[in-house]
């Protein structure tokens, strides 16, 4: 994350005026998301499954529905 933040600082200092979208897996820690405050305009967490049984079956990701979602 430090490299992304430094790259965004550099780009903004050189005139970047586009919205920054952070496309994430949804597995980030809260501390990681806090580091991005002020650098990211839109957060786009990935949400594939509503039921844990499908996450286990198709992505081998048990516990998927217990991950906090921004819905």
pLDDT per residue as tens, the chain (71 positions): 899 999 999 999 999 999 999 998 777 888 989 999 999 999 998 777 778 888 888 888 777 666 555 44
Residue 21 belongs to domain spanning: 2-66
State in Å, rounded, how far the first CA of the chain is from the last one: 24
Assess if residue 33 is contained within a domain: yes
Overall number of domains in the chain:
1
Assess if residue 71 is contained within a domain: no
> Which of 24, 45, 44 has the alpha carbon at shortest distance from 1?
24
pTM of the model: 0.65
* Secondary structure of 18-47 as H, E, C letters: CCCEEEECCCCCHHHHHHCCCCCCEEEECC
């Amino acid at each position: 994350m430090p490299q992304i933040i430094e790259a965004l600082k550099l780009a903004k200092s050189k005139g970047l005026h586009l919205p920054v979208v952070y496309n994430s897996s949804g597995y980030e820690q809260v501390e990681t998301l806090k580091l991005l405050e002020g650098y990211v305009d839109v957060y786009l967490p990935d949400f594939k499954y509503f039921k844990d049984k499908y996450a286990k079956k198709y992505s081998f990701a048990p516990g998927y529905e217990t991950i906090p979602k921004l819905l």
